Structure 1
């Protein structure tokens, strides 16, 4: 039981302890950990000798701490838990607790490489039916390997960063035209943050997932569907995705999700040996998509066909290495029902069926000024909820066209 006021029973109690990076006033960015609606200043805690991490917690980004590895991650987590539950430490620790309302949360880690997968069978089937109505919705390789693409790490931004409407080419009956996207969409996803790097030429086996991955963030992979439809054959996403990817400011450690692992969907046909994860487990994460104040969807992560361990194994099986700060995302999370879809492309079935928001407003795709918030929770110990935070973005108009 924690002595921190208001934290007992919170989704952000001592069973969670997500990490973030914050600014306060004119001071440089520093690392903190959330407890209830407060933030423990870990820079100050390590400076005072309350937590020891070789100075990694005194950095302006999580990367040095992420690189330390699981034994150190667990030791620091254990020490923070002790500080926040043993009343004997209250006098020393309480002055280092800051109200979240008084700080600015910033990007928690420096992104190395960014890879996005395509691992929901329901989403892939829906998109196939919308984009290729005369073909089989799933391509022949889909159930044999986790499909993915390399994204643009430089445009991964923290929640609440405005999203500028992208411009590009789109097809018309009279040929391609250039201009702002008219079918701007979201993709509700979960991202996995790599801590310990791997060596070039050394694949990461499925059973070494937890040795390399520190924790998770929520992801909104903003997507311009009209640009995507014109450009994606034969090489896949490019300008339709590269303009912005938003992530939540809290990195929730895998240690906080110990009670969220559940059996993953059966894979048929059987996968190749390097992809066989035994036990075959996914995470019971429950997402919620809010569009201008109206909850329009609740995507279930537990139904993802490909697991995070399989994604990491496939990402590295050719000898590609991962680095500290690498981010790989799950791909859009969709369930079997329309109310469980993780994109507006599916929710409105390609724009043919508008969705109703508050005050009688109807939407198909995003308009300037729209705000989308994706939040999520997971089951924790003894029936307690683990809060995963939220990722939010507001669409602002496109900039001037290039000369």
Structure 2
């Protein structure tokens, strides 16, 4: 899948794309934007600009033109991989060959003039739990002697989340209200969450779906990956501790999830595929339907992840955001994305183009790699001290959480995901 579009020597005539931290010509992510009072339409990011793909559809492969006229990416995701690859190759050629400048430049919009929208109509959302170090850390808080349940290393754990409350980066999060029960209390109480937390995740958009009753073989699973985004699956830890038995989280998770607006395509991520880290000695091998030599050889991704916080006090002092942790997919993910897709469909569940899968919190083995405040504060027992002297056990009103990610590989230009950020507002 690596071709001339990944060539690190390829340059764009869009000046700001050269050396851009997120969107050089080697990236070309897909998203949905609007300008002024106009309706949403599909675009790609190139440097500090957004290119309107509907406006230049006459210069693009005919098989993708109808999908580009839509206000969401679902129809484009549903096209064969070959068609999406042809679109990427054509865009790369148009943006690297100065002869096309006169045709393209009028349809470039400064990113500051654009409003980004959800990239797809998300019909269903499933959150997995592939971050083994997060699972261990959380498990120790509740089961110190047995942090991982017996099924974890045999089956990709997941649950169905709420698709209707997924929002794009920049939409504030209103502190949720619900039931909590203190250990010493005789009865639960109702009110705003006091243990509001973030979760550092990646989101996976489904490309082609599968028919009800038919499963996706793991060898074919990569063709069902449209691309990735950042995902903050906000969590009310106090609600969850009271409500999660016996059916799992409910109000603790369904109030809002935030995603970055740009979909980093599977084709753009090809150079950053790598071998899945070997399982520790003694761990069980996956069952045959989850086993594939090609997936183990190149089904993992090398993506660096970072979490920053910007508090109300930091804004008033004109301070920059502070990094809370840095992690990576290679350090965190026990299962590959192909294994998630295969397991999700093995019982005949029909996935659809535009469905979203969350990886679960991606924490590394070290404290500085934790993907949540729950881990950084040891369940709230050890407050995190910020550089300006503030402390946090969990998120305060006014806090803004910023997630970033960068795919990296030797010999290739790194590409970024843009930001996934949102600010906490007081409970209504």
TM value normalised by structure 2: 0.91
**Partner of residue 427, structure 2:** 398
Map 1:232-381 → 2, pairs under 5 A: 232-267=244-279, 268-279=283-294, 280=296, 281-292=299-310, 293-303=321-331, 304-379=333-408
In the alignment, structure 1 residue 202 sits paired with structure 2 residue 220: no
Look up the match of 2:90. 79
Between the aligned partners of 2:32 and 2:120, the Cα distance in structure 1 is 8
Q: For structure 1, which runs of at least 5 residues remain unmatched after alignment?
A: none
Distance 2:263 2:26 in 1: 14
Q: Which of residues 141, 150, 161 is equivalent to 1:151?
A: 161
Confirm whether residue 128 of structure 1 aligns to residue 139 of structure 2.
Answer: yes
Instruction: Name the Cα RMSD after superposition.
Output: 1.2
Write the mapping of 1:115-194 to structure 2, written as runs, cut at 5 A: 115-133=126-144, 135-172=145-182, 173-174=184-185, 175-194=187-206
Runs of at least 4 residues off by over 6 Å: none
Contact kept, 8 Å, 2:54 with 2:65, in 1: the verdict is no
Q: Shift of the alpha carbon at 1:201?
A: 1.1
Provide closer, same or farther for how the CA distance between residues 144 and 2 of structure 1 changes in structure 2, counting only shifts above 3 A: same
Of the three residues 7, 15, 25, the one matched with 1:5 is: 15
Could you tell me how far apart the structure 1 residues matched to 2:399 and 2:293 are? 43
Worse overlay, 382-391 or 283-292: 382-391
Indicate if the aligned counterparts of 2:204 and 2:225 stay in contact, CA closer than 8 A: yes
- SS of 2:133's equivalent in the other structure is helix
Contact 1:183 1:225 in 2 (8 A): yes
Among 209, 216, 220, the alignment partner of 2:228 is: 216
Deviation at 1:110, TM superposition (A): 0.7
Q: Does the CA contact (< 8 Å) of 2:200 and 2:233 recur in 1?
A: yes
For 1:159 and 1:277, the matched residues in 2 are separated by: 35
- Check whether the contact 1:224–1:241 (CA below 8 A) recurs between aligned residues: yes
Trace 1:6-155 onto structure 2 (pairs within 5 A): 6-10=16-20, 11-46=22-57, 48-50=58-60, 52=62, 53-133=64-144, 135-155=145-165
Q: Tell me, which stretches of 5 or more residues in structure 2 are unaligned?
A: 1-10, 311-320
2:315 is aligned to none
Distance in structure 2 (CA, Å) of the matches to 1:131 and 1:169 = 19
Deviates more, 1:136-145 or 1:377-386: 377-386
